[in-house]
Amino acid sequence: MTRKLPRFAVLQLTGCAGCEVSLLNSTEWLHQYELVYMPLVISANSVPEVDVLLVSGGVQTSEDRYKLTHAIHNAKEIVAVGTCAISGGITNLGNRNDVRESFLSQAEQHYLPHMLPKIRPIDDFVTVDRFLPGCPPTPQLFMQLLMPDPEYKPKRTVCQECGRKKLRDMKPDHFFGAQQGQPDPEICLINQGYPCVGTSTRAGCDALCTKPGHPCVGCRGPSDAFIEKDADKWMASVQKVFETMTNVPPEEIQEVLRSPQLSLFLFQFADYDSKNKKPRPKDKIV
């Protein structure tokens, strides 16, 4: 008798489809789950009944909101997948006033969904059972979500996964741009003048960026030490690390934290736990 596989679907809202590509780059789930809905590869009119619904992308339009609120009735478990679904992601740039005003000023918008005032995470509209942060989450993280390994024990921060040496006597006076110079593969990127926030960012990605020399920008969100605390504590931790490990002036540190390189993710995750919304519990975050 053929074993009946659990069914899952992927609902794509406003995003870049990077999470879907990452999922397709893994193959372990092929004999463990039946994928029944995913617009990128499987055509269907709507989300059928499934055991797990993975939702990628943020709620940017009325169509996004409609799809999300109707799809959840057919799913036993809802998972917010990727930075867009959790805090806005790249499409969060559309929250800028100039971009929004330009779009809304168009008198003729035939056949286009109504654009909401700002992009919002999916748990503003529906109850989410688990969260899978990352931009995109790695194939290994998708497998841990769908087929949890009880022996899997990720480190707490990206910094611990990276494993570069921190040097007390090597303190830069200024930060370099992200793409400047050739970083030493053995030494901490902060020591070398690169603004890396891996010390306070959630682990699980295996330091995919920092190991080859690209500073962490925080796409996995705050580590467990900060996820349930006031967002200011995460930002204060990042700033304290920079102040301790460098001789960079405080005003330059503030400027870097708000630069496009870092602010795209840092301030999204820092802003999600507003006064009207409780922090997401760490036991729900993969």
Do the beta carbons of residue 286 and residue 144 sit within 8 Å?
yes
> Residue written as tokens 């036991």?
283
Bond prior to 136 in cis (omega within 30° of 0): yes
In angstroms, rounded to a whole number, what is the distance separating the alpha carbons of residues 249 and 254? 9
Query: What pLDDT shows up at residue 28?
Result: 85
Query: What pLDDT shows up at residue 133?
Result: 94
Do the beta carbons of residue 139 and residue 22 sit within 8 Å?
yes
pLDDT average per 10 residues of sequence, the chain (286 residues): 82 90 88 90 84 94 92 95 86 61 57 72 91 93 90 89 93 82 91 94 94 93 88 88 95 88 81 67 90
* Residues listed for the chain: 286
pTM of the model: 0.79
β-strand partners of 132? 81
Query: What pLDDT shows up at residue 106?
Result: 57
Query: What pLDDT shows up at residue 40?
Result: 83
Do the beta carbons of residue 130 and residue 286 sit within 8 Å?
yes
* Cα–Cα–Cα angle for 137, 138, 140, rounded to 5 degrees: 125
Do the beta carbons of residue 219 and residue 83 sit within 8 Å?
yes
Do the beta carbons of residue 239 and residue 200 sit within 8 Å?
no
Do the beta carbons of residue 48 and residue 110 sit within 8 Å?
no
Domains belonging to the chain, first-starting first, are 7-150 (3.40.50.700), 158-271 (no CATH)
Query: What pLDDT shows up at residue 218?
Result: 92
